[in-house]
Amino acid sequence: MTGKQPFEAVVTEHGATVLRVCRAVLGPADADDAWSETFLAAMRAYPDLPDGANVEAWLVTIAHRKAIDVTRAAARRAVPVAQTPDDATAPAADSPGGGLDSLDGDLAAAVARLPAKQKQAVAYHYLAGLPYADIAAIVGGSADAVRRAAADGIATLRRAYPGVTATKNERRAQWTPMT
């Protein structure tokens, strides 16, 4: 009888996606902490995860909570700085996508400026490939509300970056596992 796969396989299959999600939701500075907290908590709880559970949705659920924790901790120790506008239409001069090139960095920065609900909906749907109903279960509210938040977020990103690559292909459910 074969039960759960070794936790190593979970890290290999989902580590990259969870890191993308953490970077999209939190920005590069706090993403590492959120990833570490997520996988440590997941490893702790792993023996009790029901067989056949959707591992990616489970990990994003944990990452969502950890991202909230990290954001709160950051807010507590934050020194007030100039506010970033919610509805910015031009890339900020010093981009939170730091180190990334022009368009990609700008897009990361634009994602960073989205309101939290839109950012989460975009990250969990377009980066993690979760259906809206699953995302609603994670963030609260209805699947329709999540769909609208994702659509609003994407519309904002398109307004800011009309040149951004938008392809009409299969929604990605999985990313190539790291080797």
Partner 1 sequence: MDTDDMTLDLAQAFPDSPADLRRLHEKLAAAAQRDGILDVAYRTVDSPVGPLLLAATDAGLVRVAYASENHDTVLQALADRISPRVLSAPARLDAPARELDEYFGGRRRGFDLPLDWRLSAGFRRAVLSHLAEIGYGQTASYAAVAALAGNPKAFRAAATACATNPLPVVVPCHRVIYSDGRIGRYLGGPEAKRALLTLEGAQ
Does residue 73 bind partner 1 (CB under 8 A)?
Answer: no
Does residue 159 bind partner 1 (CB under 8 A)?
Answer: no
Q: How far is the CB of 28 from partner 1 (least distance, A)?
A: 9
Q: How many CA atoms lie within 13 A of 129 on its CB side?
A: 14
Does residue 168 bind partner 1 (CB under 8 A)?
Answer: yes
Cα separation of 16 and 101, whole Å? 20
Does residue 175 bind partner 1 (CB under 8 A)?
Answer: yes
Cα separation of 45 and 36, whole Å? 14
The dihedral built from the CA positions of residue 75, 79, 80 and 82, taken in this order, carries a sign that is: negative
Q: How far is the CB of 58 from partner 1 (least distance, A)?
A: 14
Q: How far is the CB of 145 from partner 1 (least distance, A)?
A: 15
Cα separation of 87 and 114, whole Å? 8
State the Cα angle at 143 between 104 and 129, rounded to 5°.
40
Number of residues that bind partner 1 (CB under 8 A): 55
Does residue 133 bind partner 1 (CB under 8 A)?
Answer: no
Which of 55, 62, 63 minimizes the C-alpha distance to 22? 63
Q: Which residues contact 100 (CB under 8 A, 6 or more apart)?
A: 108
Q: Which residues contact 77 (CB under 8 A, 6 or more apart)?
A: none
Q: How far is the CB of 66 from partner 1 (least distance, A)?
A: 13
Query: Binding residue for partner 1 (CB under 8 A) from 59, 62, 127, 130?
Result: 127
Does residue 36 bind partner 1 (CB under 8 A)?
Answer: yes
Query: Binding residue for partner 1 (CB under 8 A) from 71, 88, 105, 145?
Result: 105
Cα separation of 6 and 3, whole Å? 9
Does residue 6 bind partner 1 (CB under 8 A)?
Answer: yes
Binding site residues, partner 1, CB under 8 A: 1-8, 11, 15-16, 19-20, 23-24, 32, 35-36, 39-40, 43-44, 46-47, 97, 100, 103-105, 107-108, 111, 122-123, 126-127, 147, 150-151, 154-155, 157-158, 164-172, 175, 178-179
